[in-house]
A and B are shown apart, each in its own frame.
Chain A
């Protein structure tokens, strides 16, 4: 393995920004089509009514909120990797930090779309803003949905700024190599970065502060999202464990998504030397850890249901395991806690194909976890007469498909137009002699 040099890092990363091949644009166009299909589904829903989805009474929340929580969850590991691991000086996070952060920003954006899609009257969404009005109508700050608005918008702002801050020196590096229009754009984007000492000083300070600021957000955002449920009195939702349980779950799914994205990118862009097997292995190890936390939470829920002697809770959890949605429950348990345990075997966590496969399974498992919680709770709630089932419709699948297309569409654009690996941080680690955590 030839040693990495500054020049080599620059070269490898900047090479990825060369004009793309036709196949890339075809892929981008296909994804855009998918996005448009999703948008069309949404448009249809606005026109006809939310009833084009499968929600009903008692299950008034369906895939829209499942996807919301799913994407917020995905958005977590980006900040975890770039901020928390930065504070912990875990050098192995450097090669994947940029991509993970980007993933975060895009995932939050998409997550933020879903509450809008979910609303019965999206055209009145501004009622949620505390704007001054004659009637003194104010939003209800007791509502967990208001918490959500605050939490998600804060998270989006901070993670975007953090991402952009980290990007600055690299943008300048691109500008220096670029020509023509690209040069103009990157000159504009790099905000006059010259690489002076003062700039570097401010930059590193600023970055550190951002990291410190973003860290509590990682915990808070998904805690708040979990309160959407935990503050409801629905059996299966109304539990104090939800905040840590959701945060762990979010990180779990986020890490899996990092693997899902990094592995193909590493292959396509030839990043093998930068994103080494060790980096992937470290991610896999963390997944084992988060998977165990999630598994522990599953167990705790059952224990508390039994311990409470509350027949409503008991029935809710009995039904979760043997009722109509039992397959969702099995997928969730198997994919989230049992399968990641395979990473305990060194050979498996160092085999790229297996890493990729398992990461996708974890993603599926985490989606089903949200399904089991969100749909399962209300489907089998307090009133036995009102028990009912829910199944998503074509429109809902369309919107969900559109959201995935949008995510990959944005990510593909990013990968080809912005440096997908932080050259700055790679060089830092190289200089400190601990190149990518070997």
Chain B
């Protein structure tokens, strides 16, 4: 080799080495033609409506550089008043889901063939026209609950095709409540309740904080009556076989045998009647009720329900003494053979206690009342074959998953002569059986209207550009049914003209104002909704009570606060945020009472086989006192056989062992089955649980105070330096004490950011946690890593059980306490945790080298380490908040008090040459909290809300005796006995 060759080789080698090691291109491209309202770095907000459940909360979608990065509640909206639950937060993971179908898929012999949208539309049109030509009723349609306008279009289109109106299918359609309303009040649909005005609230299983009707709305209404207010608070008693989140928030949860709620309700009726309060009821009716109720003596009720006699007596007393009591009927979970009777009794009970039914709102009925009852749905599927329906249209429904396997849905869909079109964006169990999967635009990309309650027009508008070429479902129907001769040429015009025609908006101009606000929220009620007079006779079905499940093992299925009916299972945030009551993420454990476990020799994490007459399933055991002995419970939502990478094969579907039989009178499904057997499979499955200890071990973490004690005023408060009596030490100069402090005091510049968490208001719903995931680009780690203890959540709602009474639960939102004497700051060798001039404990990701000493030294254990680099499968990366760094492996992270929002407020205030106002900075968790349990502000400002809250007698700091001077100040939960 000569010198030249040598140099050549060396040169080439080093160049290629350098090139191969250089980081990938990082080029920022700006749009050549940006939309007019797009300013880089500045968010646009679009008002819309959440369609993750039938409640219909108003949302604001934050659009940054053309993509939606966050949704928040719309403060103007009457239903949710600016708040949102975790399912609403996770709506983003629907549009950005990596398993979202991009083009229509046509089923062929050798699998799915992607076709273009126009091809698919043409095919749909052909099939529909053909079916319409064959005869009437050859097209069937099953849709999820949709807004009035879209429903009208569906109806018109089907009428054009000579077919029946679409069937509205919702897995949770509250059949028994609906029937009870119809039988007792003579009305159709679901009334709404003025929870906020009740002083005693009794729920016979209504999980109104989880999923029942409109959870966000009832959450704020509930706290309006239940939170401490001038030394008083309303009483809430929950009677149910299992302790849902709602039950966990009750002053007393009374565990009852499944099916015995009716006995309790009739027992209470008997007690009220004994007081002679029924005078205003018609005689015949009173006689009938009396006749049924008289069997339910106190002893009988206690015996049937399993409620201890003394607690039942207290319940009676509370109810009798109440001024404005409200009783809510059973919801969806654990619906059994007696649920209808129970709801009828509840309605009568309300009538007896308050003949005016002043807490019932008959005008603003929940839209879910329009959903078909289960028997109609099953009938619909039976008729597909009978009427030889040729074309079946399914709009975003998943009956194959949601209905028990005995319902015969699969068979009905698989019939050869039936062409099934699934308008679905995901390959779920039902879409798999379709012949054509047609992804339509998702709610955040579409124009529409959906009023969760009568009288509310809540609009939807595209909050971002389109990720796929999917057309609007309304446009598809307009084109397919009417071609060129449709009522309007596109759905948006159809929508606007429809609203104008109904008189809800004046003209196109007021439409602009409407979409800016998110809807028309002025009270408005059509006359037809008025309540008719109460039927004079009691329904015959009332006294047909079957025995509650008292013998043998029974099994109940409940709707999940995370996955609702299963549609949330493909949103990784919802999988990762654990169930609030069991604190288990990703999995579906079966809840077993310790006594039941002992009887069957089960231990926590044993995988058991549960067998009913209708099927069997395998699930890990979770032992808890949140369920009555003798009953097993499991949440709906997981155990999908398809539906994308986050849902498929994750968890268990309790529907596998439920009966396809229906409750005969209301036609509703049964979510409770008796006589199940349980046996150990021999396997053990580690639970992805996020708690270490269930109790707080006598430590000063989640504190509560009894109402009586609180009203007595300050007790003789001695202050010492132990855990019990350490005084509250504000994270300010005022909190400096020469005797206690080693380091000199810190003076903050103008602001000292701080948060107050009112444990009395916190319901533990974990909406804050989900909002934090969305805002701060927190990594999703998955089931295995949660088991390893590597969840990344910055805000976890810790659950502490009372050591004596395991059903008394306190929820404690735990986030970085931003201590003034932060133990994390002093131990880092490189100053990665940095104390800002405004008191925030900043984590400097770039500086962090990953010694993890800060995490070790944090007594609150709120620091999270990036054990790996997390990935956001495309297009989920588009959801990432551009204002927040995406952390890579090897660095520590934790709650930043949403520093990006504080900085934004700074900029804003500086431009206006003023100080930041109280309430101007709202971190994501504070923003979404349905009960406003979190307050954020400047502690240096004596007039700020948090400064005042920090002075109240309930204020305390967690583990204050460590003298960390935390900036998160908690207000004790207020307990009361019933």
Which B residues touch A388, using CB under 8 A? Answer: 692, 789
Answer yes or no: B800 CB below 8 A from chain A CBs: yes
Is A387 a contact of B692 with CB atoms below 8 Å? yes
Known: A139-B829, A146-B829. Contact between A382 and B851, CB under 8 A?
no
Residue of A nearest to B847 (CB): A127
Which B residues touch A389, using CB under 8 A? Answer: 789
Q: Give the interface segment out of B17-25, B730-738, B863-871, B922-930.
A: B863-871
Q: How far is the CA of A120 from the CA of B869 in the complex (A)?
A: 11
Answer yes or no: A137 CB below 8 A from chain B CBs: yes
Answer yes or no: A232 CB below 8 A from chain B CBs: yes
Give the bracket for the number of chain B residues in contact with chain A.
Answer: 35 or more
Q: Give the interface segment out of A7-15, A50-58, A93-101.
A: A50-58
Q: How far is the CA of A138 from the CA of B834 in the complex (A)?
A: 12
Q: How far is the CA of A381 from the CA of B859 in the complex (A)?
A: 7
Known: A58-B861, A385-B799. Contact between A50 and B850, CB under 8 A?
yes
Which A residues touch B697, using CB under 8 A? Answer: 311, 315, 384
Which A residues touch B464, using CB under 8 A? Answer: none
Contact with B along A135-176 (1 / 0, CB 8 A): 001111011111001000000000000000000000000000
Which B residues touch A125, using CB under 8 A? Answer: 849
Is B827 a contact of A49 with CB atoms below 8 Å? no
Is A57 a contact of B864 with CB atoms below 8 Å? yes
Is B814 a contact of A120 with CB atoms below 8 Å? no
Q: Which of B796, B867, B891, B892 contacts A51 (CB 8 A)?
A: B867
Q: Which of B790-805 contact A (CB under 8 A)?
A: 790-791, 796, 798-800
Residue of A nearest to B698 (CB): A311
Among A57, A59, A309, A387, residue most surrounded by chain B Cβ atoms (within 10 Å)? A57
Q: How far is the CA of A234 from the CA of B696 in the complex (A)?
A: 17
Is B890 a contact of A49 with CB atoms below 8 Å? yes
Q: Which of A94-151 contact B (CB under 8 A)?
A: 115, 118-122, 124-125, 127-128, 137-140, 142-146, 149
Which B residues touch A139, using CB under 8 A? Answer: 829-831
Minimum CB–CB distance from A235 to chain B (whole Å) comes to 9
Contact residues of B: prevailing secondary structure: loop
Which B residues touch A58, using CB under 8 A? Answer: 692, 789, 855-856, 861
Contact with B along A379-396 (1 / 0, CB 8 A): 001111111111000000
Q: How far is the CA of A309 from the CA of B961 in the complex (A)?
A: 14
Known: A233-B962, A384-B697, A385-B693. Contact between A56 and B789, CB under 8 A?
yes
Q: How far is the CA of A59 from the CA of B863 in the complex (A)?
A: 12
Answer yes or no: B699 CB below 8 A from chain A CBs: yes
Q: Which of B303-350 contact A (CB under 8 A)?
A: none
Which A residues touch B695, using CB under 8 A? Answer: 384
Minimum CB–CB distance from A223 to chain B (whole Å) comes to 17
Q: Which of B682-717 contact A (CB under 8 A)?
A: 691-693, 695-699, 701
Which B residues touch A383, using CB under 8 A? Answer: 692, 701, 798, 814, 859-861
Answer yes or no: B723 CB below 8 A from chain A CBs: yes
Is B692 a contact of A60 with CB atoms below 8 Å? no
Q: How far is the CA of A234 from the CA of B852 in the complex (A)?
A: 14
Is A145 a contact of B827 with CB atoms below 8 Å? yes
Q: Which of B833-865 contact A (CB under 8 A)?
A: 847-853, 855-857, 859-861, 863-865
Minimum CB–CB distance from A225 to chain B (whole Å) comes to 13
Which B residues touch A128, using CB under 8 A? Answer: 829-830, 849
Q: How far is the CA of A383 from the CA of B697 in the complex (A)?
A: 9
Which B residues touch A49, using CB under 8 A? Answer: 866-869, 889-890
Answer yes or no: B258 CB below 8 A from chain A CBs: no
Is A385 a contact of B829 with CB atoms below 8 Å? no
Residue of A nearest to B844 (CB): A137
Which B residues touch A145, using CB under 8 A? Answer: 827-829, 851, 853
Is A232 a contact of B857 with CB atoms below 8 Å? yes
Is A382 a contact of B693 with CB atoms below 8 Å? no
Minimum CB–CB distance from B253 to chain A (whole Å) comes to 21
Answer yes or no: B104 CB below 8 A from chain A CBs: no
Answer yes or no: A310 CB below 8 A from chain B CBs: yes
Q: How far is the CA of A125 from the CA of B826 in the complex (A)?
A: 18
Answer yes or no: B568 CB below 8 A from chain A CBs: no
Which A residues touch B850, using CB under 8 A? Answer: 50, 119-121
Which B residues touch A118, using CB under 8 A? Answer: 851
Q: How far is the CA of A139 from the CA of B832 in the complex (A)?
A: 10
Residue of A nearest to B792 (CB): A57
Which A residues touch B814, using CB under 8 A? Answer: 383, 385
Answer yes or no: A312 CB below 8 A from chain B CBs: yes
Q: Which of A325-381 contact B (CB under 8 A)?
A: 378, 381
Which B residues touch A121, using CB under 8 A? Answer: 848-850, 889-891
Is A55 a contact of B692 with CB atoms below 8 Å? no
Among A128, A139, A381, residue most surrounded by chain B Cβ atoms (within 10 Å)? A381
Which A residues touch B796, using CB under 8 A? Answer: 385
Q: How far is the CA of A144 from the CA of B869 in the complex (A)?
A: 28
Is B891 a contact of A142 with CB atoms below 8 Å? no
Is B785 a contact of A51 with CB atoms below 8 Å? yes
Q: Which of B693, B831, B857, B863 contacts A57 (CB 8 A)?
A: B863
**Contact sample, A vs B, 16 pairs, CB 8 Å cutoff:** A49-B890, A51-B785, A58-B861, A121-B848, A137-B831, A142-B826, A145-B853, A231-B827, A311-B699, A312-B699, A382-B699, A383-B692, A383-B859, A383-B860, A383-B861, A384-B699
Beyond the given pairs A58-B856, A384-B699, 11 more chain A to chain B contacts, judged by CB atoms under 8 angstroms and listed by A's residue number, are: A56-B790, A57-B865, A60-B852, A144-B853, A232-B823, A234-B857, A384-B692, A384-B695, A384-B697, A385-B701, A389-B789
Chain B residues proximal to chain A, CB less than 8 Å: 691-693, 695-699, 701, 722-723, 785, 788-791, 796, 798-800, 812, 814, 823, 826-831, 847-853, 855-857, 859-861, 863-869, 889-892, 959, 962
